[in-house]
Structure 1
Amino acid sequence: MTPGGGAVSLASKVQDQGWAWMVLIATVLVQALTLGFPSCIGVFFKDLQYDFQASNSETSWFPSIMTAVLHAGGPLCSILVKRFGCRTTVMLGGLLSGVGMVASAFSKSVSQLYITAGFITGLGSCFSFQASITVLGYYFIRRQALANALASTGVSIGLTLWPLISQYLLDEMGWRNTFLIFGGVLLNCCVCGAVMRPIPVELPAPSLNSCHGESAEGRHLSNGKSVHQGEHLRQSRFTACLQTLQNYLAFDIFFKNKGYQIYTIGVTWMVMGFVLPLIYLVPYAIFNGVEERKAALLISIIGFINIFMRPMAGLLSGLNVFTGRRIYLFSLAVMLNGLSNLICAISAEYSILVLYCMVYSVSMSVIGALIFQVLMDVVDRDRFSSALGLFTILESITILIGPPLAGLLVDVTGHFSYVFYASSFFMVSAALFMGLSFCTMEAKNKLIETQKPPPEDSSRGKYTEVPTELGPDKNGPPAVIYITSI
């Protein structure tokens, strides 16, 4: 038996069957608890403003920080997964999320919410979510696409349930007690993490140690006594740190890969407006006289439609007709999403808002299903993790500043409708930028291909040896050699 053969055999028994489905259920719950959670913040918007005497801009920093940290913590989560494993990282994330929400229940100012519910809960949600997706890749091999599609429904379930539960608890016991209960609910990520036991497979050892570790060369040099050797050791550590940073943030791909550059800039600009409706839709409806429970139901409508539309969008994008063209389907969905915001801005009648939620949720489902699939199409698979790290960090910057800027717009104008006009502008301009840029890039590539000279004879363009005389033996070497062409 080969070394490690038993481990590989045991791994093959749990992959795509048996306990793998329990891990999938746990991942669905983790996504519902983490990614779906920020959708309920709009329910508490007015109460937080009243208790802390805060403006729209100040209050909107709280969900912005939570969502931004949820996306930007990916590289740190990857380091923890490599060091401690997925199970421990998911459980650590659940603990942080729960502690953050419990602490936020005792906040005395909106700035304290930025740290407790915003940073701590957001970072914990990031750890739980991204580590659960990582462990899913170990448990599913043949059915990985199906598993990812089913796992993504967790976000939709969270979008459906969180606003309804939040509005009920808010009416019954106020926002502080509700946040206290939310802390206990988010601790269930620890239970889900306990289900995700590691698979005993042998993984290749990393080529470089972490920034805090010491390379083999460094250990060898540490035995030396000269200052030059110590300097060499420090340089070795610095090089290891740079290499580690390069593994998680693909700046080289950003400057060399035109498609990745266009897509990253486009999505970074897009999310400036993409998150605004989920935060401001409920306050907008309440401001225009809609009952609070009916206003919270609007977000649940979006989530309920997402449960069915997101897997369908994933299956649709997998058809052969969209191979190599998913970026255009993605741009079309972004365009539809932006234009749908105009429906909401024109009228605040409840029937119109319900129609808006239906159109918005369809386009949102396609965006959610394709955003990472398109990224896989424009970068090499072996560099996807590092490309994703830079992608999510740049994305989190605009997620962070978008809602506060929209809140400032409401404070200045006094009308929530301008938020949806702004969202429409960001979405439509991003869709046009990505679609036209990729179309232009493909046209240039085709033009370059057509302008290439026709293929020449194998004897042209090379150094060619031609004999002028043959000796008695025709198979012998040539008597004279000269160059016919270069």
Structure 2
Amino acid sequence: MSSTLRTRRGAETQPDDPREGGWGIVVVIAAHLSFAIQNGLLRSPGVLYLSWKEDFSTNDRETAAVQSVFSSVSCFSGLLGGILTERFGCRVTGIVGGVLTFLGHLCTYWVTDIYQLYITASIIGIGIGIASNPVVVVVAMYFKRKYKLAHAVAISGEGTGIMAAPPLFQMVLQSFGWRGTFVIASAVAANIVTFSALFRPNGTKQKSKGGLHSSQQNLAKGEQNSDDNYGHSGGLVQLEPKGQAAEHGETPNSNMGYVSLVLDTKNANPILRLLKRLAVRFGFHLFVKSYRFVLLCAIQLQFNITYIGFVLYLVPRAQSVGVAPSSAVILLSIFGIGNLLGRLGSGLLVSWKILAEHVSAITMVIAGVSLLIMISERFSLFAIASFLYGFVSGVYFAIGFVLIRQCVGVRKLAVGVGFSQIFLGIGAVTGPVVAGWILDLTGDSYQTVYCVESAICFIGAVQMLLVPLLRRIEPGIEISPTDV
């Protein structure tokens, strides 16, 4: 009996560090399926393009704007998903995003013009943007040593969705029309709620009345104390012991042994203090603390310009040299297969004792070469370029989350991913504009477009090699050694 009591007491005093596996496997599977549904719904509306154009009697520009709304809004709402994830946890945030995605698809059944479709597309985009953030974060919370492999399996759900959803949309469209397709799609979107409900917290069991998210809040206190520290002339905000805190009227923190942050008297402006706290709360301090994070966001913007341009003009480029439309569409399927394999293989690539930055640089070089291959006029070379670009883009986007985690840590991963999604959204909006501007100047010369995009990839590869060097000069963010 006494040995049993000692064992129980010892277990209570040890921190709860769950093993990698168990429920974590369920989380990875749920994350993969959630990603598949989100990206399948996000990339499939192009199948309904002609139906919308005929039903609403709109031109190509107005109809094509629907897909732009889907993509850009989902990226721009990623930061909102990050803030909600930090505040309410992965499960609640994922459920909220799933509900919005479900309602957006269901309400589309009753739209009567293209402008109402823009509104429902925005609701769907917001829902997907919110739901995608906790999918990335929850895997990072469950895995440390095997994180890269688990993340690769989860993120590969995007490739699964891109491959499976368009044929299913086409089949349902022929039987039920585009309105019936959205009703069925709403039922599929409701499964995001189900999968998000499986994202249960894996932190320590809190005996205090802190609510479901109290474990994450307690975990982040140490970092928030170090982040909320913009003093005058570079000085840190001071921490005072409990005794001195009482004299200043501050509330002591029993957990840390220190009081809440007290600004230096030279910098005691309440408005400035509020702004600084808001900057930390919304994650803007990441751009000051981590130069690597800033450069990664800039590189992602550049790469997404080439990514959107490649996908957008892949079929038109093939048709411009006499490839039949049915054969040209096959190139998108080849691209999707490569993307899926790239996301699955990303975990193995970064596990071979190669810096993730170097792997990303190599993928950007191969992406640039793939774009140059598109200058040719042979279908076989187009197929090779489609597979190569799909593979390396899958690797790049999967490793991008790993690099962000190394820069900001798990505690700030939600906000970090949110900011990176905003930059991806800017690239998604800028890519078609830049490509269209080049086509107008050169008289529909796709070769020039691909040459410019190839140059952007090569420049990004050089920038990626600078990321490890910035670690030496940046202030840095206090993160766990397991995040590196």
| Deviation per residue, 1:45-71 (Å, 9 max, x gap) | 233233333333332322222222322
| 1:252 is aligned to 2:288 | yes
Q: Indicate how the Cα distance of structure 1 residues 249 and 411 shifts in structure 2: closer, same or farther if over 3 A, else same.
A: farther
Distance 2:434 2:186 in 1: 29
Superposition map of 1:287-436 within 5 A:
290=324, 297-322=330-355, 325-343=358-376, 346=377, 354-375=383-404, 387-403=416-432, 418=446, 422=449, 424-436=450-462
Give 1:128's match in structure 2, choosing from 103, 126, 131.
Answer: 131
1:173 aligns with 2:164: no
Partner residue of 2:165?
162
Map of 1:74 onto structure 2: 78
1:368-406 Cα deviation digits (max 9, x unpaired): 333334555677887766554433322211212433665
Q: Is the 8 A contact 1:267 1:430 kept in 2?
A: no
Q: Structure 1: how far apart are the matches of 2:189 and 2:443? A: 35
- CA deviations 1:279-309 (Å, max 9, x no partner) are 45567778978466x6655433332333333
SS of structure 1 residue aligned to 2:201: coil
Task: Give the Cα separation in 2 of the matches to 1:429 and 1:391.
Answer: 22
Look up the SS of the partner of 1:342 in the other structure. Answer: coil
Whole-angstrom CA distance in 1 between matches of 2:439 and 2:155 = 33
Match of 2:26 in 1: 22
**Aligned equivalents of 1:105, 1:409: Cα separation in 2:** 38
Partner of 1:239: 276
Alpha carbons 1:310, 1:366 under 8 Å: kept:
yes
Contact 2:338 2:390 in 1 (8 A): yes
CA 413–431 in structure 1, closer or farther in 2 if over 3 Å, else same: closer
Of residues 148, 152, 156, the one that matches 2:151 is 148
**1:116 Cα deviation after fit:** 1.0
Matched, 1:269 2:276: no
Quote how far apart the aligned CAs of 1:441 are. 9.4
SS in 1 for 2:197: helix
* Worse overlay, 358-367 or 275-284: 275-284
Give CA deviations for 1:310-360 in whole Å, capped at 9, x if unaligned: 3224312432355663343132133134224435xx46x6x6654443233
- The C-alpha deviation readout for 1:7-51, integer Å capped at 9, x for no partner, is 944x62xx4222221111111101101134322232222332333
1:182 equivalent to 2:189? Answer no
Amino acid of the structure 2 residue aligned with 1:19? W
- Which residues in structure 2 correspond to 1:47-126 (within 5 Å)? 47-117=51-121, 119-126=122-129
Choose from 188, 201, 208 the match for 1:198: 201
Shift of 1:130: 1.3
CA distance in 2, matches of 1:444, 1:302: 34
Q: Displacement of 1:185 after TM fit?
A: 0.7
Task: Determine if contact 2:370/2:386 at 8 Å carries over to the other structure.
Answer: no
Aligned partner letter, 1:431: C
Q: 1:144 to 1:375 in 2, by over 3 A?
A: closer
Q: Distance in 1 between matches of 2:161 and 2:111?
A: 25
Going from structure 1 to structure 2, the CA distance change for 1:324 and 1:172 (only over 3 Å counts) comes to closer
AA of the residue aligned to 2:369? L
After superposition, the Cα gap between the structure-2 partners of 1:410 and 1:318, relative to the gap in structure 1 and judged at 3 Å, is: same
| Higher Cα radius of gyration | 1
- Deviation, 1:178, is 1.1
Residue identity matched to 2:367 = V
The answer (yes or no) to whether the contact 1:249–1:389 under 8 Å persists in 2 is: no
| Offset, 1:276 | 3.4
> What is the alpha-carbon distance in structure 2 between the residues aligned to residue 440 and residue 22 of structure 1?
37
Write the distance in 1 (CA, Å) between the matches of 2:111 and 2:395.
38
1:101 and 1:183 in contact (8 A); partners too: yes
Q: How far has the Cα of 1:121 moved from its partner? A: 0.9
Alpha-carbon deviations, 1:399-440, whole Å to 9, x = none?
12433665788899996x74x853x24531222222345668
Alignment partner of 2:145: what SS? coil
> Percent identity among equivalent residues?
24
Residue 368 to residue 341, structure 1, CA distance change in 2 (3 Å): farther
> How far, CA to CA, are the matches of 2:100 and 2:287 in structure 1?
30
Aligned: 1:34 with 2:38 = yes
Letter of the aligned partner of 1:192 in structure 2?
A: F
Aligned-residue offset at 1:150: 1.1
Change beyond 3 A, Cα 1:71–1:110? same
Q: Tell me the CA shift for residue 161 of structure 1.
A: 0.2
Alignment of 1:5 with 2:26, yes or no, is: no
Deviation at 1:235?
5.2
Q: Kindly report the root-mean-square deviation, in angstroms, between the aligned alpha carbons of the 2 structures.
A: 4.0
After alignment, is 136-145 or 98-107 more displaced?
136-145
Q: Distance in 2 between matches of 1:172 and 1:309?
A: 34
What is the CA–CA distance in structure 2 between the aligned matches of 1:175 and 1:284, rounded to whole Å?
Answer: 28
Separation in 1 of the partners of 2:54 and 2:150? 43
Work out whether residues 334 and 363 of structure 1, in 8 Å CA contact, stay in contact via their aligned partners in 2. yes
> Quick one: distance in 2 between partners of 1:170 and 1:7?
56
**How far 1:87 moved relative to its partner?**
1.0
Equivalent-residue separation in structure 1 for 2:138 and 2:50 (angstroms)? 39
Task: Identify unmatched segments of 5+ residues in structure 1.
Answer: 210-215, 221-230, 447-486
2: CA distance, partners of 1:183 / 1:414: 42
Length-normalised TM-score, structure 2: 0.72
Which amino acid in 1 is paired with 2:279?
A: L
Partners of 2:67 and 2:11 in 1: CA distance = 47
